[in-house]
Amino acid sequence: MAEEECELNEKQKREIAKWFLLNSPAGEIQYIAKDLRSVLNDEKVYNEAASEAFPLYNKSHLICLELPNRSGDVLVTSYNELEENEFLDPRTAQVATVDHVKQVCTDVRPAADEELSSPYIEEFRCALDAELLKYVAEAYPKGICSVYCVDGKDVEGPGSNFELVVVISAAKNSPQNFCNGSWRSVWNIEFKEDVQMLEVRGKLQVGAHYYEEGNVQLDAKHECKDATIFQAPDDCAISIANIIRHHEAEYLESLEVLTVSPFPFKFLDFKASLLTITI
């Protein structure tokens, strides 16, 4: 007797579609979405899967979008998300409205006072932002960075703790050469004034995909910790930037000597090209 075919219901199709979208390599979700839409041949299921998957993908991949008025770029992360589809760019004090599925900014408005950090916190945030801009310009020519206050943004002066987050995102997409790569790093900096220390925690991630005559992916992650003393805003910024520079350079060096013998030789070439985003 012939085995009966198993028909997937809408929920199962949606969950499978979401899985493919969420696991798309960096810079490739639009290609996956186009193929999924064709295979599903069901606009309702596709739209439901896309509306759930794209926001999660965009925030986890720290994608960068140009503001509509060309006044700068905004990173899409969980750290600067205000309301659904609204993301703060503290450097320009603007809030961008994002269409997650199309991956574009559709509108921009000035940030309200309550959405911004206090003047005291801004001294530290702006000083760190300036140092990080110099570092990223040297290390990641195609990169973008931003600094957000995620705790204590209303602190008005010395005596209270607060926390900043540094986000760095860089990509090297070369679909014509069948390869794409990304660098993502998130640094949490806890300013502990009671003990006059800064605790620094970093999460680094490199993604790479080579798909000419095969399908090879790299998804490498690393975590690290460090600390420095609590100082004036400019001095704190320099110390934090040096810590980030040291740990990211050290991690990239470790990737360069990584043994990848199970993979084709061409993967070695691609891994080397991925690392050029740091040159």
Would you say residue 278 has pLDDT above 80?
A: no
Q: What is the pLDDT of residue 72?
A: 85
Residue 258 confidence class, pLDDT cut points 50, 70, 90: low
- pLDDT digits 0-9 by tens, 13-29: 999 999 999 998 888 89
Residue 264 confidence class, pLDDT cut points 50, 70, 90: very low
CATH number at residue 126: 3.90.1150.210
- Containing 171, the helix (H) or strand (E) segment is strand 162-174
Dist. CA 191–CA 152, nearest whole Å: 10
Residue 10 vs residue 151, higher pLDDT: 151
How deeply is 222 buried, as exposed, middle or buried, from its count of CB atoms within 10 A (0-12, 13-18, 19+)?
middle
One-letter amino acid of 252: L
Please say which residue of 37, 60, 83 terminates a domain.
Answer: 60
Are 261 and 217 in a shared domain? yes
Please say which residue of 116, 132, 158 terminates a domain.
Answer: 116
Are 102 and 132 in a shared domain? no
Are 188 and 268 in a shared domain? yes
Secondary structure of residue 80 in the 3-state scheme: coil
Question: Positive or negative CA dihedral for 202, 55, 57, 141?
Answer: negative
Domain count, the chain: 3
Please say which residue of 89, 116, 143 terminates a domain.
Answer: 116
Q: What is the mean pLDDT of residues 240-265?
A: 76
CATH number at residue 71: 3.30.1140.60
Return phi, psi of residue 260, to 5°. -125, 40
Q: What is the mean pLDDT of residues 111-139?
A: 96
Are 29 and 86 in a shared domain? no
**How is residue 262 written in tokens?**
């199970």
* C-alpha to C-alpha distances, 171 to 16, 18, 65, 146, 184, nearest whole angstrom: 27, 23, 13, 15, 9
Are 266 and 230 in a shared domain? yes
> pTM for the full model?
0.88
Within-domain flag for 218: yes
Would you say residue 4 has pLDDT above 80?
A: no
Are 150 and 169 in a shared domain? yes
Are 225 and 147 in a shared domain? yes
Q: What is the mean pLDDT of residues 186-194?
A: 96
Within-domain flag for 208: yes
Q: In 70-102, which positions are buried (b, 16+ CB within 10 angstroms) versus exposed (e)?
A: eeebbbbbbbbbeeebbbbbbbbebbbbbebbe
Are 194 and 76 in a shared domain? no
Would you say residue 153 has pLDDT above 80?
A: yes
- pLDDT digits 0-9 by tens, 169-182: 998 887 777 788 89
Are 199 and 151 in a shared domain? yes
Dist. CA 111–CA 130, nearest whole Å: 20
Q: What is the mean pLDDT of residues 222-232?
A: 97
Q: What is the pLDDT of residue 64?
A: 94
Are 53 and 130 in a shared domain? no
Are 203 and 75 in a shared domain? no
Secondary structure of residue 227 in the 3-state scheme: strand
Q: What is the mean pLDDT of residues 5-20?
A: 87
Within-domain flag for 24: yes
Are 141 and 229 in a shared domain? yes
Range of the domain at 108: 62-116
